[in-house]
Amino acid sequence: MWYKHLLGTMPDRDLAEMIGVNVIAVRNARCCRGIPCVRAGVWKRPPLDVRFWAKVDKSGDCWLWTASTDTRGYGKIGDNGRTLVATRVSWFLEHGEWPTLFVCHHCDNPRCVRPSHLFEGTARDNAQDCKRKGRHLTKEKGAGVWARGTRCSRAVMTEATVKEARDMRAAGATYIAIANHLGVSKRTAFDVTNRRTWAWCN
Q: Helix 12-19 crosses helix 23-32 at what angle (to 10 degrees)?
A: 110
Domains defined for the chain, CATH in brackets: 4-45 (no CATH), 49-132 (3.90.75.20), 156-193 (no CATH)
Grade residue 112 by pLDDT with cuts at 50, 70 and 90.
very high
- What pLDDT sits at residue 41? 45
- What pLDDT sits at residue 87? 94
Q: Which one of 19-33, 77-91, 122-136 scores highest in mean pLDDT?
A: 77-91
Does the pLDDT of residue 1 top 70, yes or no?
no
Residue 16 phi/psi, 5° resolution?
A: -60, -45
- What pLDDT sits at residue 144? 46
Question: How far is Cα 108 from Cα 131, in angstroms, rounded to an integer?
Answer: 12
pTM: 0.50
pLDDT digits (tens, 9 = 90+) for 121-145: 887 877 777 766 665 554 444 444 4
- What pLDDT sits at residue 3? 53
CB 43 within 8 A of CB 28: yes
Does the pLDDT of residue 16 top 80, yes or no?
no
- What pLDDT sits at residue 36? 43
DSSP 3-state assignment of 66? Answer: coil
Which comes out higher in pLDDT, residue 199 or 29? 199
Q: Which one of 72-76, 154-158, 198-202 scores highest in mean pLDDT?
A: 72-76
Least confident range from 41-45, 78-82, 109-113, 173-177: namely 41-45
pLDDT digits (tens, 9 = 90+) for 167-191: 999 999 999 999 999 988 999 999 9
